Copies of this chain bind each other. A is one copy, B any other.
Amino acid sequence: MSTITDVAKKAGVSIATVSRYVNGKADGNMNEETKRKIDEAIRELNYEPNSIARSLKSKETKTIGLVVPDIVNPFFPLMVRGVEDFLRENGYSVFLCNTDQNSQEELAYLKLLQARKVDGIILVGVDLPSDVVLEYIADTPFVCLERHENTAEFDVIYSDNYQGAYDATKYLIDLGAKEIVHIAGRENSKVANLRKQAFIQCLADHEITSDPSILNGSFRLEDGYRLTMELIEQRKNIPDAIFYANDFMAFGGIRALVEKEVRIPQDISVIGYDDVIVASLITPALTTVRQPVYEMGKNAAELLLKRIQGTVEPGKQHVLLKPELVIRNSTSMKVVQ
């Protein structure tokens, strides 16, 4: 790889002139002949500025770190894509960091990214205590995605879980469902609670019941399977619909329902949450609430760039995005035999 010195030599000018030319700092005021010679030398040598050297001088690397629990979890790829697309368009490259939500790893990556002098960091689903994050991350700009905590210390991008769950429940009611069961997420999860509260409130608002049936799972497929099995086995009549706190549990529930030969959606309507890519691939295609993950990623990247450039009002930003009900084939009016 050739350097700026090679170019300067070949063009018969100084490196300063080459530098100016390359960075467009010469505008109109540069001898046309000089320009031509430099241009030619660059082409012949296939010169490309060394961004490492550039970074050392400029104090910016045009790279950012993206810390994510696990890219293998179908919830994240689209979000990552949202981040990458936006950043790429703006000249930034992204370091992908999988942590399995292990605090040790998260912290280790925070250090590493800073040693690499990234210009900013996006933290997805990092639940480290605020003070720890702030201490470790020192003065690198960062924004959080999917951190559900009301902290005035962080920029946070998240989506309206209450609204989404309310919409889902409302939709089931509109379909004529009288008895709806909610299979909730992990008990101490902020997100799970928001969805559960919305479910309860919606039922109350529509005078369905003030004592809804709710079972607690922990967001995993197995929970959806097990709880649904128990539900079917313990009663003689099955409910009109089940609202699962996330798609994974809905997948488990569908498995149980199929094994018990309960037809979806004829006998029972099923609705999930997240609109993980799998939801559209299964049969019946799952009605669910789409989290605008691509936009969330994109928004996070956008906000981060503003932070880096310092073009955002002081005070941390909390961006709330709207989820959207995606109606597919796992829900319908109940067919009365």
A residues near B, CB below 8 A?
1, 46, 48-53, 55-56, 61, 63, 66, 70-72, 74, 77-78, 80-81, 84-85, 93-98, 111-112, 114-117, 138-139, 221, 248, 251, 254-255, 258-259, 277-278, 281-285
Contacts and interface: CB of A to CB of B under 8 A. Distances in A.
Nearest to A80: B71
19 contacts: A1-B114, A1-B138, A52-B56, A52-B61, A52-B117, A56-B56, A71-B77, A81-B98, A93-B97, A93-B116, A95-B95, A96-B96, A251-B281, A251-B282, A255-B283, A258-B283, A258-B284, A277-B278, A278-B278
Contacts of A48: 111, 114-115
A115 B85 CA distance: 19
B114 A85 contact: no
Given A71-B80, A277-B72, A282-B282, A50 B117 contact: yes
How many chain copies does the complex carry?
Answer: 2
Contacts of A116: 51-52, 63, 93
A81 to B, nearest CB: 5
Nearest to A72: B77
A112 B285 CA distance: 40
Nearest to A66: B96
A114 B52 CA distance: 11
B74 A81 contact: no
B84 A96 contact: yes
Given A52-B52, A53-B56, A278-B278, 6 more contacts: A51-B117, A52-B117, A77-B77, A255-B285, A258-B283, A282-B282
